Chains A and B, each alone.
Chain A
Amino acid sequence: MTRLARTARLLALGWLFYVKMATRSAFDGLLGILYPLFFATVAFFMFRAGHDSKSLLYASLGAAVMGVWSSTSTTAGSAMQRERWHGTLELLVAAPRHFALVLLPASVAQTTIGLYSMLATLFWGRVLFGIGVSIEHPLLFAVSVLATVLAIGSAGFLLAVSFVRYRAAWALGNMLEYPVWLVCGFLVPLSLFPHWVRPISWVLAPTWGMQAIRESALGGSPLADAAVCLLLGAAYVLAGVLVVERVLGAARRRAALSLA
């Protein structure tokens, strides 16, 4: 088996391993039911005054992507912390494969769980509040969702790199949850924010992913937004791969890999 094939196999099996683990927690399962319900409710009450089916769908899609981001930002940090508590972080670092090949599938797995949250939010919106989900370009919609999931997973990977070095960094993940909802335009159009916020939105891949999803659902052209989203995701991965060994070196020097 070639080195490239081995790497692809490790990424795929790592993703499966972490998805399997995430689906085995009853507590996380309960949150998986409650969170989408919460997001769908927020979207409905924010936009019901408009009585416009398009604006309700706009909000419902935003609420759906909120779940993907929340799943990544909060769990990417707590997942690394859990590895530390369980003593498995050291074992992963002590393995001979590049550590990025461990972290990346773990982060994308969390985002994949968030994908369920996205579907569940749309489902609750439809069942409880009658928000219709009519997608203009189903294929482009699927491409946009995939690009968004991969890019958010990449952002989670970049966050997880810092969680390896700094034991308290998991709190940063929680702290980033709500601001990203806002500055990426999940619920409120970016045009309502001051100009200085926009550069921040532009460097965040979820902004472009969100736009691509809405364009494809509401009948626009999402490909350029999806491409920027994927490019930014790739940049996050590249940055993570470049710094992860340096971060690990610092953690080995500062004895930050274990709690002992």
Chain B
Amino acid sequence: MPVVEAVNLRRTYRTTTGTFRRRSLEVEAVRDVSFQIEEGELFGLLGPNGAGKTTTIKMLITLLIPTSGTARVLGHDVVEDATWVRARIGYVFGGDRGLYERLSALDNLRYFAELYGVEPRRQRARIAELLELVGLEGREKERVEGYSRGMRQRLHIARGLLHDPPVVFLDEPTIGVDPVGARELRATIASLTDAGKTVLLTTHYMFEADQLCDRIAVIAKGRIVGEGTPRELKARVADGSVVEIEVYGVPDETVDRMRGIRGVRAIGVEDRDQAQLLVVQTEPGAELTHALLSELDGATVGRVSSREPTLEDAYVALVSDEPEPVAQ
């Protein structure tokens, strides 16, 4: 039996536009998302901002009711058995929010230990264990408002593990954390599966998913567009090659025209100060440098290079193919 199972999950949000002539719109944030996570697996939900990762995770942790479809955790429906599910899952999200800043880390942990039903006689030892796990021992009596982003994030993880849940949901836990802090957090996340926990991690950092996850589902514009191990996803683009072109001030229409060149699989655009880096993935054997540069005629072109594809290229290829959902 899978530990986490999503079947055709769909979630729409209703929003309004206009001041005097208000119009109601329905936006599909998640569209027919299905996946399964087995026991002890670290499963990554990878996608750009606004792809539907957080909406999916919020449905799984019972905070949002799906518009349609079902989700089960440890065999229990997240809508019908919400209280049962809540007692057995941990939820950690990234960023500055989610903590009582005026109080100490210890105050925060004690209150949540009580809310999650940790036995009073176990609370002191459990909190000490977790403070050691996340490297906050000795700082627990300080107010959270004085904590760095990395320390807050580690406190979040400690809070999410207080009741020793078998399933942990981590929603972009390293977002905004400095590189050293993020590396320490990733080591902590990796240790969760060593302790037998099943983990769902959402991230938009490719290397993080590659390093940590046993399997990855790539989500774009609310839909799962690819799923497999990091190796399987890389294999999707391994037979092609990648041309990188540094260019200054390229219009969107030009990039769209380049996408239409025969042999081009996908194009990603990365902004770098005043320049853009066009990352062009090509079919095997296609020599497209000349054709691509011809389309850029008139634009200032900098460095041009070619290289082997990476997992990030597989990700870019998957997410750039997905059409926008239509608002109704």
Interface of A is mostly: helix
> A21: which of B14, B100, B117 is its contact (CB, 8 Å)?
B100
Rounded to whole Å, the gap between the CB of A90 and the closest CB of chain B is 6
A24 touches B63 (CB 8 A): no
A95 touches B115 (CB 8 A): yes
Residue A10 interfacial (CB < 8 Å)? yes
Which of B105-113, B199-207, B244-252, B281-289 is the contact stretch?
B105-113
Map CB proximity to A onto B56-91 as digits: 1 under 8 Å, 0 otherwise.
001001111100000000000000000100110001
B114 touches A10 (CB 8 A): yes
A93 touches B65 (CB 8 A): no
Rounded to whole Å, the gap between the CB of A162 and the closest CB of chain B is 19
B102 touches A96 (CB 8 A): no
B98 touches A91 (CB 8 A): yes
Chain A residue at smallest Cβ distance from B59: A252
Residue A97 interfacial (CB < 8 Å)? yes
A96 touches B83 (CB 8 A): yes
Chain A residue numbers with a CB within 8 Å of B97 are: 85-88
B63 touches A13 (CB 8 A): no
- Give the A-B pair count, Cβ closer than 8 A: 79
Residue B116 interfacial (CB < 8 Å)? yes
Rounded to whole Å, the gap between the CB of B44 and the closest CB of chain A is 21
A249 touches B100 (CB 8 A): no
B114 touches A87 (CB 8 A): no
In the complex the two chains form, what is the Cα distance from A75 to B35 in whole Å? 43
B103 touches A96 (CB 8 A): no
Residue A6 interfacial (CB < 8 Å)? yes
B65 touches A96 (CB 8 A): no
Residue B153 interfacial (CB < 8 Å)? no
Chain B residue at smallest Cβ distance from A24: B102
In the complex the two chains form, what is the Cα distance from A18 to B65 in whole Å? 29
Residue A191 interfacial (CB < 8 Å)? no
A residues 183-199 near B (Cβ < 8 Å) are none
In the complex the two chains form, what is the Cα distance from A161 to B127 in whole Å? 31
Chain B residue numbers with a CB within 8 Å of A135 are: none
Report if A94-B91 is in contact (Cβ < 8 Å); known contacts: A255-B64, A260-B54: yes
Report if A88-B115 is in contact (Cβ < 8 Å); known contacts: A96-B83, A252-B63: no
> A95: which of B86, B93, B110, B143 is its contact (CB, 8 Å)?
B86
A17 touches B107 (CB 8 A): yes
Residue A253 interfacial (CB < 8 Å)? yes
Rounded to whole Å, the gap between the CB of B202 and the closest CB of chain A is 14
In the complex the two chains form, what is the Cα distance from A258 to B54 in whole Å? 12
In the complex the two chains form, what is the Cα distance from A35 to B103 in whole Å? 25
**Known A90-B58, A102-B115, A252-B63; 18 more pairs at CB < 8 Å:** A9-B114, A17-B103, A17-B110, A17-B111, A20-B107, A85-B97, A86-B101, A87-B93, A87-B97, A88-B98, A88-B100, A90-B98, A91-B91, A96-B83, A96-B86, A97-B117, A255-B13, A260-B54
A-B contact pairs, 28 of them (CB 8 A): A6-B117, A9-B120, A13-B110, A17-B110, A17-B111, A21-B103, A25-B102, A86-B101, A87-B95, A87-B98, A88-B97, A88-B99, A90-B63, A91-B91, A91-B98, A91-B112, A93-B63, A94-B61, A94-B62, A94-B86, A95-B86, A96-B83, A96-B87, A96-B115, A97-B115, A97-B116, A257-B63, A260-B54
